[in-house]
Structure 1
Amino acid sequence: MYQRILVATDGSELSEQAVTSAIDLALLTQSELFAVKVSHHQSAGYFEGSLLLNQMDAARLRDEADAESQRVVDAVKDKADARGVKKTTGIVVRSEGVSEAIIDAARVHQCDLIVMASHGRRGIRRLLMGSETLHVLTHSHTPVLVLR
């Protein structure tokens, strides 16, 4: 059925439910599991309406985001290993585009399923900000399992 399952996580409670389901599915199908966390790096510029940071502060913030992302995927790996998943790989992707990074990771690691949570944005927030999950659903060539 499935050989390689990618689970996208952001460390939130909802994505933890997706992680648990992905682990269950990996155990059921004896699949490898790839836990992906995108370390979202915003570019620092003058026209973004953000605070201006010097290079050292910007680098420190990126390093902190990367360390937190690594902690999240390490926790997924530990949980999967404890449950008996045959092989789990934690991947941190540094990117400005979350959904594109998830799709690329699934392609690069030859995954045959992406598991992710729906983040439940509704109304004007969804219209203005979009949905990373919806973008993955509509642009991925890999099947996507969305959990609510």
Structure 2
Amino acid sequence: MFTHLLLPTDGSPASEFAIQNAIEFAKQTHARVTGVHVIPEFHVFTYQTEMLEDTREQYAKESKVQAAKFLATIERAAEEAGVACETLTLVGDHPYEAIIKVAEDKGCDLIAMASHGRKGVSGLLMGSETQKVLTHTQKAVLVFH
């Protein structure tokens, strides 16, 4: 049975749904959880410097505040359910790679995450971090939709 679940979150309603269900699963199986949020790298996508509103420092500060908020959802749910929990925030341009690395480094035996259900052109163009995790990991993945 599973003993250590990794719960990636992007703060979306779909992630919150997955978190609630994964925490209940962890409670029933006496597993512990690790929550993770991956902050995208800071990039500048303009050629007109007067258009820049955020500095790298502002972006980092605001991203960490947002990550703490997202991870607090996991911490609260785990505490209410009596499930052991730790959380961490990482920075990277490819969240799926960070998620897989955390699962390996922390010895997680199940990755439980949301699928946003994008289909058609938007799914093709935007891609899916869940799909990338599914196709690049050897770990078990539980997808909530």
For the aligned residue pairs, the C-alpha RMSD in angstroms reads: 1.7
Alpha-carbon displacement from aligned partner over 1:37-91 (angstroms, at most 9, x marks no partner): 11122333xxx4576448x722111210111101211221122111111x10011
The equivalent position to 1:72 in structure 2, one of 63, 70, 73, is 70
Distance 1:118 1:127 in 2: 14
Identity of aligned residues (%): 35
- Asked if the contact 2:37–2:67 (Cα under 8 Å) also holds between the matched residues in 1, the reply is yes
Task: Mark the runs of 5 or more structure 2 residues left unpaired by the alignment.
Answer: none
- CA spacing shift, 1:6–1:128, aligned 2, 3 Å: same
TM-score, length-scaled by structure 1 = 0.89
Runs of 4+ in 1 over 3 A off after TM superposition: 48-54
Match of 1:111 in 2: 108
Distance change (3 Å), C-alpha of 1:119 and 1:42? farther
TM-score by length of 2: 0.90
Gaps of 5+ in 1: none
Aligned residues: 143
Asked if 1:97 corresponds to 2:94, the answer is yes
Q: Distance in 2 between matches of 1:50 and 1:115?
A: 40
1:62 alignment partner, one of 36, 60, 63:
60
Q: Distance in 2 between matches of 1:83 and 1:3?
A: 15
